A and B are shown apart, each in its own frame.
Chain A
Amino acid sequence: MRTPLRPLARILKARETGENPDVIEAENRARRHAADQDKARNRAEGRLLLLGLMFFCAFAVIGGRMGTLASSVPEEPRAAAEGNPIIGQRADIVDRNGRLLATNLDTYSLYAHPHQMIDPVQTAEQLAAIFPEMDVERLKADFTGKRRFLWLRRQLSPEQMQAVHDIGSPGLLFGPREMRLYPNGALAAHILGGASYGREGVSSAEVIGVAGVERQFDAFLRDPANEGAPLQLSIDLSIQAVTEQVLAGGMALMNAKGASAVLMDIHSGEIIAMASLPDFDPNSRPQVALTGDQSDSPLFNRAVQGVYELGSVFKIFAVGQAMELGLINANTMIDTTNPLTWGRFRIRDFRNYGPQNSTTDVIVKSSNVGTARIAMQIGAERQRSFMGQLGMLEATPVEMVEAPTGAPLLPPNWSELSTMTISYGHGLSSSPLHLAAAYSSMVNGGTKVEPTLLLNPEPTPGPRIISEAVSASLVDMLRQTVVRGTASMGDVEGYEVGGKTGSADKPRAGGGGYYDDKVIATFATVFPASDPQYVMILTLDEGVETSGTEPRRTAGWTAVPVAAEVIRRTAPLLGLRPNVDMGDPVGITLTSH
């Protein structure tokens, strides 16, 4: 009930008593004002309380949520995740046609909780009966000792798992594992490398690459963002298999202790096949040898890591450079008087080829003297820079973790004498892969090629090294070498093989000269000569051909026939049509001349 400011009754009474009625009004006004203030304060207090309550609730919610987040197990937000959250496995490795080279297989590991075993001794005996490599006494000691956990095996076959299951001991437990499988066995072993386990837990273990492309592309293969996209290599499975098969046969026939072959596309630098023997099975990669010569280990990749003085195959570089510089042409007569004396050093040919030979014949007959004379015209500085352009002065950029270990061995001082010896392949050690890339650059029209193991369907030509005309005449010289020179066994009917042999004595291990009876025989070949597509480098380590009266170690007798057989088998698989004259067509008779 609102009180009027000037209540009539009080006003009249005040007038009667002579008081000032304004006092009454002021009093009432003050009272009303105080009431209004009270009301406003109450409302404000109520609002503050509400606001405080809301803040409290908000903080409580946030605090509670933080508490639950902190105390709960993290979980992937499945509903919000895009893409395929299933494929968390290490990616496959496939060849250029998509055939599997490496994949994963689900298996189980075996571990033990000895304190849960009922009869540890009998369990140990039964386990040792299943796994012959386990030592029963050691198992008994482990099971009856203080250990509460121990790994028994990393991988089990399903049969073994069933057998362990049949023991029925509650202390034997299985943990899921992913195992890396190389279904083709030893095929392309050096390229693939191998895989092993990294951090291991009971419920899972990470698979890590230990060598080759497995290690080089470890991050890519493990990256879940790829959603299981495989790593596609430039290798062709069938061609790799044939190359390895023929190479193994050739190595056995030629009594070699090692062999390697590299088959490369000369335009893209893709390695179609790369084999190194002896090899190993990446499914059970052998241990790295701690003593002895690493290059005798099957893990050693001769094609990439093996740096050798490769001999006369280098002659084409000196001739190519001299022709590019305009110093000589294919028909220039070169002085080949045997021997060539330089200070205390004498350069000899395999036999005397007469006082003069054309440049083509220097290559065809493989004259060290002739090549050395050409190199003298070029000079050390220019030769070195040319070799650098070809990539012969540093490790190959191929995508393998071992590649940097195959760095070439260069002469400490690139003297005039080094220039001459390097021109015929001594004094500079390089790997067969170096040679393959350099040969590709020389015969593909003269642009630089870098070796790669990854599929590269649209190659871009590298910087120009020699002109197309020089490249074409080099191919012609290589073809002549096969037709009428040192590599006459290398001809494969229909494929116009061109190539250059190289037989280099091996340097003695302790230094000081060369062995007389140990030869690295190399055949560097390009085919088909009319339209070069592929380069193959085949190397035999200490090969010897013993069918004759005396052992023959030159590449023409050892590496060349093996290479010819490899080409005969692989060229049809590469899709190259042979240019074979099949005689008269059947059913058509020439009736008049």
Chain B
Amino acid sequence: MRGFLFVFAACAVIALAFWAYRENYATQTAIREVRGLYSEIGAAHDRLQMLRAEWAYLNRPDRLADLADLNFDRLGLLPLRPEAFGAVDQIIYPVPPILPITDPIELSADLIDATGDPL
């Protein structure tokens, strides 16, 4: 019994040592990977930062105002003014479509037009 325990303990130690060895290397690999990912994220962040700065630079109010002036013919953009606002009841109702005239009435006026000036 005692001998068996000794052998078992020795095997357990070997097994645990093997497990710890593997875990150690797995951890180191993971840390290396994380480091790589961090530097990738950092690079992406730098790129994003640059793009954000560029976006803000290209959308600066001075430039947009100049662009609106340059393209006035095409876009017709004006500064927002109070006159640009309106009320809902100012919007015109849709005009009902004019039905085709199926039973035309002849007007004497049309005849006058056709024959020229009667006087």
How far in angstroms is the closest Cβ of chain A from B30? 8
When the two chains form their complex, are residues B65 and A245 in contact, meaning their CB atoms are under 8 A apart? yes
Residue with the greatest number of chain B CB neighbours at <10 A, chosen from A84, A100, A495? A100
Contact with A along B62-105 (1 / 0, CB 8 A): 10010000000000000111111111011011000000000000
Q: B3 at the A/B interface (Cβ < 8 Å)?
A: no
Q: Tell me whether chain A's interface is mostly helix, strand or loop, or mixed.
A: loop
Contacting residues, chain B, for A87 (C-beta < 8 A) = 45
The residue that B82 contacts in the complex, of A187, A245, A572, with Cβ under 8 A, is A572
When the two chains form their complex, are residues B42 and A86 in contact, meaning their CB atoms are under 8 A apart? yes
When the two chains form their complex, are residues A104 and B82 in contact, meaning their CB atoms are under 8 A apart? no
Q: A119 at the A/B interface (Cβ < 8 Å)?
A: no
**Given A87-B45, A572-B84, A578-B85: A187 in contact with B35 (beta carbons within 8 A):** no
How far in angstroms is the closest Cβ of chain A from B74? 22
Contacting residues, chain A, for B62 (C-beta < 8 A) = 184-185, 187, 241
Contacting residues, chain B, for A569 (C-beta < 8 A) = 79-81
When the two chains form their complex, are residues B42 and A238 in contact, meaning their CB atoms are under 8 A apart? no
Q: B31 at the A/B interface (Cβ < 8 Å)?
A: yes
Task: Give the residue name and chain of the A residue nearest to B44 (CB).
Answer: A86
Contacting residues, chain B, for A181 (C-beta < 8 A) = 53, 57
When the two chains form their complex, are residues A106 and B46 in contact, meaning their CB atoms are under 8 A apart? yes
Say which one of A429-437, A549-557, A579-587 lies at the interface with B.
A579-587
Q: A169 at the A/B interface (Cβ < 8 Å)?
A: no
Task: Give the residue name and chain of the A residue nearest to B27 (CB).
Answer: A79
Contact with B along A210-239 (1 / 0, CB 8 A): 000000000000000000000000000110
Task: Give the residue name and chain of the A residue nearest to B92 (CB).
Answer: A587
Kindly state the separation between the CA atoms of A317 and B102 in the bound complex, as whole angstroms. Answer: 76
How far in angstroms is the closest Cβ of chain A from B40? 10
When the two chains form their complex, are residues A582 and B86 in contact, meaning their CB atoms are under 8 A apart? yes
In the complex, chain A residues 97-119 whose Cβ is within 8 Å of any chain B Cβ: 99-100, 103-106
How far in angstroms is the closest Cβ of chain A from B47? 10
How far in angstroms is the closest Cβ of chain A from B88? 10
When the two chains form their complex, are residues B60 and A184 in contact, meaning their CB atoms are under 8 A apart? yes
Q: B49 at the A/B interface (Cβ < 8 Å)?
A: yes
When the two chains form their complex, are residues A184 and B49 in contact, meaning their CB atoms are under 8 A apart? no
How far in angstroms is the closest Cβ of chain B from A36? 26
When the two chains form their complex, are residues A183 and B53 in contact, meaning their CB atoms are under 8 A apart? yes
Contact with B along A64-90 (1 / 0, CB 8 A): 000000000000001100001111010
Kindly state the separation between the CA atoms of A185 and B60 in the bound complex, as whole angstroms. Answer: 8
Q: A577 at the A/B interface (Cβ < 8 Å)?
A: yes
When the two chains form their complex, are residues A572 and B85 in contact, meaning their CB atoms are under 8 A apart? yes
When the two chains form their complex, are residues A582 and B82 in contact, meaning their CB atoms are under 8 A apart? no
Q: A285 at the A/B interface (Cβ < 8 Å)?
A: no
Q: B61 at the A/B interface (Cβ < 8 Å)?
A: yes
Kindly state the separation between the CA atoms of A539 and B65 in the bound complex, as whole angstroms. Answer: 25
When the two chains form their complex, are residues B86 and A78 in contact, meaning their CB atoms are under 8 A apart? no
How far in angstroms is the closest Cβ of chain B from A102? 9
**Given A79-B31, A185-B60, A238-B61: A103 in contact with B83 (beta carbons within 8 A):** no
When the two chains form their complex, are residues A100 and B52 in contact, meaning their CB atoms are under 8 A apart? yes
When the two chains form their complex, are residues A103 and B85 in contact, meaning their CB atoms are under 8 A apart? no
Q: B50 at the A/B interface (Cβ < 8 Å)?
A: yes
Q: How many residues of A sit at the interface, in one of the four size bands?
A: 35 or more
Kindly state the separation between the CA atoms of A181 and B51 in the bound complex, as whole angstroms. Answer: 13
Contacting residues, chain B, for A100 (C-beta < 8 A) = 52-53, 55-56
Q: Tell me whether chain B's interface is mostly helix, strand or loop, or mixed.
A: helix
Contact with B along A566-593 (1 / 0, CB 8 A): 0011011100011010100111100000
When the two chains form their complex, are residues B81 and A568 in contact, meaning their CB atoms are under 8 A apart? yes
The residue that B50 contacts in the complex, of A78, A105, A494, A582, with Cβ under 8 A, is A105
Contacting residues, chain A, for B38 (C-beta < 8 A) = 78, 85-86
When the two chains form their complex, are residues A78 and B81 in contact, meaning their CB atoms are under 8 A apart? no
When the two chains form their complex, are residues A103 and B42 in contact, meaning their CB atoms are under 8 A apart? no
Contact with B along A443-471 (1 / 0, CB 8 A): 00000000000000000000000000000
Q: A261 at the A/B interface (Cβ < 8 Å)?
A: no
When the two chains form their complex, are residues A183 and B56 in contact, meaning their CB atoms are under 8 A apart? yes
Contacting residues, chain B, for A242 (C-beta < 8 A) = 61, 79
Q: A296 at the A/B interface (Cβ < 8 Å)?
A: no
When the two chains form their complex, are residues A183 and B57 in contact, meaning their CB atoms are under 8 A apart? yes
Contacting residues, chain A, for B27 (C-beta < 8 A) = 79
Kindly state the separation between the CA atoms of A106 and B50 in the bound complex, as whole angstroms. Answer: 8
When the two chains form their complex, are residues A187 and B60 in contact, meaning their CB atoms are under 8 A apart? yes
Residue with the greatest number of chain A CB neighbours at <10 A, chosen from B31, B38, B56, B59? B56
How far in angstroms is the closest Cβ of chain A from B27? 8
Q: B16 at the A/B interface (Cβ < 8 Å)?
A: no
Kindly state the separation between the CA atoms of A588 and B88 in the bound complex, as whole angstroms. Answer: 13
Q: B41 at the A/B interface (Cβ < 8 Å)?
A: yes
Contacting residues, chain B, for A208 (C-beta < 8 A) = none
How far in angstroms is the closest Cβ of chain B from A536? 16
Kindly state the separation between the CA atoms of A242 and B53 in the bound complex, as whole angstroms. Answer: 21
How far in angstroms is the closest Cβ of chain B from A393? 37
How far in angstroms is the closest Cβ of chain A from B15? 25
Q: A493 at the A/B interface (Cβ < 8 Å)?
A: yes
When the two chains form their complex, are residues B49 and A103 in contact, meaning their CB atoms are under 8 A apart? yes
Q: A172 at the A/B interface (Cβ < 8 Å)?
A: no
When the two chains form their complex, are residues B61 and A89 in contact, meaning their CB atoms are under 8 A apart? no
Q: B34 at the A/B interface (Cβ < 8 Å)?
A: yes
Kindly state the separation between the CA atoms of A467 and B104 in the bound complex, as whole angstroms. Answer: 74
Q: A492 at the A/B interface (Cβ < 8 Å)?
A: yes
Contacting residues, chain A, for B55 (C-beta < 8 A) = 100
Kindly state the separation between the CA atoms of A154 and B12 in the bound complex, as whole angstroms. Answer: 63
Contacting residues, chain B, for A185 (C-beta < 8 A) = 60, 62
Task: Give the residue name and chain of the A residue nearest to B93 (CB).
Answer: A587
When the two chains form their complex, are residues B52 and A586 in contact, meaning their CB atoms are under 8 A apart? no
Contacting residues, chain B, for A187 (C-beta < 8 A) = 60-62
Contacting residues, chain B, for A89 (C-beta < 8 A) = 49
The residue that A237 contacts in the complex, of B34, B61, B79, with Cβ under 8 A, is B61
Contacting residues, chain B, for A573 (C-beta < 8 A) = 80
Contacting residues, chain A, for B61 (C-beta < 8 A) = 184, 187, 237-238, 241-242, 245
Ranked nearest first, the 5 interchain pairs of A and B with the lowest CB-CB distance are A241-B61, A578-B82, A100-B56, A183-B56, A183-B57
Task: Show 12 residue pairs from A and B whose CB-CB distance is below 8 angstroms, ordered by the A residue.
Answer: A78-B31, A78-B35, A87-B45, A99-B59, A183-B60, A187-B60, A187-B61, A493-B82, A494-B82, A495-B82, A586-B90, A587-B92
